[in-house]
């Protein structure tokens, strides 16, 4: 097994958890209700927890004495491999929910496969994650329905959200950073196999939410190659602020 490609592979998963967890962390205390605030914080907390498990494992594999925090905080922008979807800003609660649902649906399908990985650590992290992410997906899916099939205003807003985020969904299945070798060894998940189920599940829920499913063209890719959005640098400046300002300290 090639250590480097496994290390890279773990980052292509975990960076999504970190960045989405970070985005959700911006919202604490500013949501539409106490209950949604608690749920948002809880999802963020789960994602940061998963990030830690993945990064600890990645640091182990690399074997250069790095810590989870070195990986989380001390990389250059182009070295983060999360997809564009999860870094999209919290424009309003509809975007938060839409982004969450589009991610959760993918991530749950993904973890369901990853639990069968021949890599025991990845399989164990996936098993634990499935419980958490099933809850996340129920929460976000229920809210997509409420907002889509709620008031006239919320319906319009939610349709706009779905249209706005749709260009980013196909990148979820982009195989950048996933080596064929790892798939052959049964370590990595073949993302292309998840695509059809994903679009089926998402379309069904959007229909239930009385929302139109956007056409499947004009997708945007980049995050997995390290080419991020303009929003991303700002997110990193918050994320990295302490570690950059006070290097080499214990917190």
Tokens found for residue 108: 């749950």
Which among 20-28, 100-108, 173-181, 216-224 is the span making contact with another protein, rule CB under 8 A? 20-28
b or e along 31-58 (b: 16 or more beta carbons within 10 Å of the residue's beta carbon)? beeeebeebbbebbebbbbbbbbbbbbb
The answer to whether 12 and 178 are in contact (CB under 8 A) is yes
From the list 1, 2, 3, 32, which residue makes contact with another protein (rule: CB under 8 A)? 32
The answer to whether 24 and 96 are in contact (CB under 8 A) is yes
Task: List binders of another protein among 88-117 (CB under 8 A).
Answer: 92-94
Q: Name the minimum Å distance from CB 156 to another protein.
A: 10
Q: Name the minimum Å distance from CB 229 to another protein.
A: 17
Contacts of 112 (CB under 8 A, 6+ apart): 126, 130
Q: Name the minimum Å distance from CB 175 to another protein.
A: 27
Q: Name the minimum Å distance from CB 31 to another protein.
A: 6
Q: Tell me the number of residues near another protein by CB under 8 A.
A: 48
DSSP state of 74: S
The answer to whether 226 and 81 are in contact (CB under 8 A) is yes
Task: Please report, as ranges, the residues that interact with another protein according to CB under 8 A.
Answer: 22, 25-26, 28-38, 41-42, 44-45, 48-49, 51-52, 55, 68-69, 72-73, 92-94, 145-147, 149-151, 153-154, 157, 238-239, 241-243, 246, 249-251
């Amino acid at each position: 097994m090639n250590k480097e490609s496994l290390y890279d592979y773990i980052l292509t998963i975990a960076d999504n958890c970190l960045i989405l967890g970070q985005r959700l962390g911006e919202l604490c205390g500013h949501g539409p209700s106490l209950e949604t605030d608690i749920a948002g914080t809880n999802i963020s907390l789960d994602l940061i927890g998963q990030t830690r498990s993945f990064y600890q494992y990645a640091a182990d594999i690399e074997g250069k004495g790095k810590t989870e925090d070195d990986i989380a905080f001390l990389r250059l922008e182009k070295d983060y491999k999360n997809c564009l979807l999860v870094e999209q800003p919290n424009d309003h609660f509809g975007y938060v929910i839409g982004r969450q649902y589009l991610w959760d649906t993918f991530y749950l399908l993904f973890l369901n496969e990853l639990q069968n990985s021949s890599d025991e650590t990845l399989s164990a992290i996936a098993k634990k994650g499935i419980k958490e992410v099933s809850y996340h997906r129920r929460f976000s899916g229920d809210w997509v329905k409420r907002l889509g099939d709620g008031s006239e205003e919320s319906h319009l807003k939610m349709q706009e959200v779905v249209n706005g985020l749709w260009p980013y969904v196909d990148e979820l299945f982009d195989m950048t950073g996933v080596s064929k070798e790892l798939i052959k060894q049964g370590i990595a998940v073949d993302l292309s196999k998840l695509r059809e189920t994903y679009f089926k599940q998402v379309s069904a829920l959007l229909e239930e939410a009385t929302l139109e499913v956007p056409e499947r063209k004009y997708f945007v890719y980049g995050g997995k190659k390290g080419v991020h959005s303009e929003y991303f640098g700002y997110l990193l400046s918050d994320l990295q602020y302490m570690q950059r300002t006070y290097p080499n300290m214990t917190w």
